[in-house]
């Protein structure tokens, strides 16, 4: 070594080694795991803004639907209590919580153990402490037990945003959609129950035909049941391929719609969604204070029929003093800005006042 060459300093054994940001192949990654810009919105706000401006939902995020309409229906006021039965990403809760202050309280229910901790941390970071906001991992079918544990006889409003969140749809490991190949799981709570692959393998032909018809209004239910029942499909792509093979004469667009309906029907069956919704609808009046409000967002006809019939029966029985006579839909502007809002339907009811 030359006398004029400075010596290289010895590495500090206590220093944290530098770690390079993970790289991905190509400018536009296709794998969900490589979309770190969209999955870490705090560090990449500009990228997320561009995705939203293009009318898409950034991977790992969820855009709340019909927020203004829901706030008008629920009319949360300072000091009131309410329940968000489907906390999800926390978009609706984020808008409700400030309107309850001072002195108000919101309970957030979420069955998904993967997303709940993230959402709770997100809302805590906004300043909503345990005295204002409580998160609980549970299905909304157990709402009466949740209220009893919280020492609440009833609440002033209840919100339920049904269906699958964008975070679940966009993660191939959850297996909810044919858009990405992944294990055929579809469970809202991956820690309980059986995945869709096992459910299909164990389901009889007649039961599958009924599920396709009742859960998704699938016109080819019998033919598809013949092709799918009792078979084991390891991935979402395997199931989609079997659907295509069963209906070789369908055009591309109709085949895509059929595939979505099959995935929807199987998901509803795997998660027992209709039985949970029926349980919620039965207990709703008793869970509301006098004059309390409930708003429910549905995303397909099977859900909407149940909500409509339940509200109409409650109004006829005197449990509700008013119900939605017309279904609410997202505005054209919202459907353009957020295409995932397009199938949404909003219905509401108001608890009768005390005698």
28: pLDDT confidence band, cut at 50, 70 and 90? very low
234: pLDDT confidence band, cut at 50, 70 and 90? very high
Report whether pLDDT(314) > 50. yes
The burial of 16, by beta-carbon neighbours within 10 Å (0-12 exposed, 13-18 middle, 19 or more buried), is given as exposed
Rounded distance, CA 92 to CA 273, Å? 21
State the DSSP code for 328: B
Backbone angles phi, psi at 121, to 5 degrees: -65, -35
* pLDDT value of position 12: 55
* pLDDT value of position 167: 79
* pLDDT value of position 36: 44
Site of tokens 């639907």 = 65
Asked if 261 and 228 count as a contact pair (C-beta separation under 8 A), the reply is no
Report whether pLDDT(15) > 90. no
Report whether pLDDT(152) > 90. yes
- Written as one string, the DSSP assignment of 81-114 is EEEES--TTSHHHHHHHHHTTTT-EEEEE---TT
Of 73-82, 158-167, 185-194, 329-338, least confident by mean pLDDT is: 158-167
Distances (CA, A) of 194 to 88, 187, 328: 22, 8, 35
Report whether pLDDT(42) > 80. no
Report whether pLDDT(182) > 70. yes
3-state secondary structure of 168: helix
- Written as one string, the DSSP assignment of 224-291 is HHHHHTT----BHHHHHHHHHHH-TTS-HHHHHHHHHHHHHHHHHHHHTHHHHHHHHHHHHHHHEEEE
* pLDDT value of position 14: 53
* pLDDT value of position 1: 47
- Written as one string, the DSSP assignment of 19-49 is -PPPP-SSSS--SGGG-HHHH-TTT-HHHHH
* pLDDT value of position 168: 84
Which tens digit of pLDDT belongs to each residue from 235-293? 999 999 999 999 999 999 999 999 999 999 999 999 999 999 999 999 999 999 999 99
Report whether pLDDT(49) > 60. no
Of 12-26, 127-141, 171-185, 305-319, least confident by mean pLDDT is: 12-26
- Which range has highest mean pLDDT (11-15, 55-59, 228-232)? 228-232
Q: Which residues pair with 50 in a beta bridge?
A: none
């Amino acid at each position: 070594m030359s006398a004029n060459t400075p010596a290289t300093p010895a590495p500090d054994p206590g220093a944290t080694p530098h770690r390079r940001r993970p790289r991905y192949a190509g400018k536009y990654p296709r794998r969900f795991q490589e979309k770190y810009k969209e999955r870490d919105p705090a560090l990449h706000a500009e990228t997320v803004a561009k995705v939203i401006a293009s009318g898409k939902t950034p991977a790992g995020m969820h855009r709340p639907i019909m927020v203004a309409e829901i706030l008008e229906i629920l009319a949360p006021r300072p000091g009131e209590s309410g329940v968000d039965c489907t906390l999800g990403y926390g978009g609706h809760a984020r808008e409700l919580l400030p309107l309850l202050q001072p002195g108000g309280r919101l309970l957030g229910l979420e069955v998904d153990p993967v997303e709940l901790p993230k959402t709770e941390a997100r809302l805590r970071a906004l300043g909503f402490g345990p005295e204002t906001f409580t998160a609980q991992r549970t299905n909304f079918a157990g709402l009466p037990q949740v209220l009893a544990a919280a020492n609440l006889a009833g609440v002033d409003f209840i919100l339920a945003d049904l269906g699958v969140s964008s975070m679940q749809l966009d993660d191939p490991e959850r297996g909810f959609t044919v858009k990405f190949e992944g294990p055929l799981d579809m469970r809202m709570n991956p820690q309980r129950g059986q995945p869709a692959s096992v459910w299909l393998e164990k389901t009889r032909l007649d039961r599958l035909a009924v599920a396709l018809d009742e859960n998704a209004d699938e016109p080819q239910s019998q033919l598809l049941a013949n092709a799918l029942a009792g078979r084991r499909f390891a991935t979402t792509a395997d199931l989609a391929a079997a659907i295509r093979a069963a209906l070789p004469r369908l055009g591309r667009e109709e085949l895509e719609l059929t595939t979505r309906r099959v995935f929807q029907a199987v998901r509803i069956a795997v998660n027992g969604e209709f039985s949970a919704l029926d349980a919620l609808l039965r207990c709703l009046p008793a869970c509301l204070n006098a004059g309390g409000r409930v708003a429910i967002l549905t995303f397909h006809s099977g859900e909407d029929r149940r909500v409509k019939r339940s509200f109409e029966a409650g109004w006829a029985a005197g449990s509700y003093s008013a119900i939605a006579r017309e279904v609410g839909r997202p505005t054209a502007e919202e459907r353009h800005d957020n295409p995932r809002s397009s199938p949404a339907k909003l219905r509401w009811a108001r608890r009768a006042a005390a005698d």
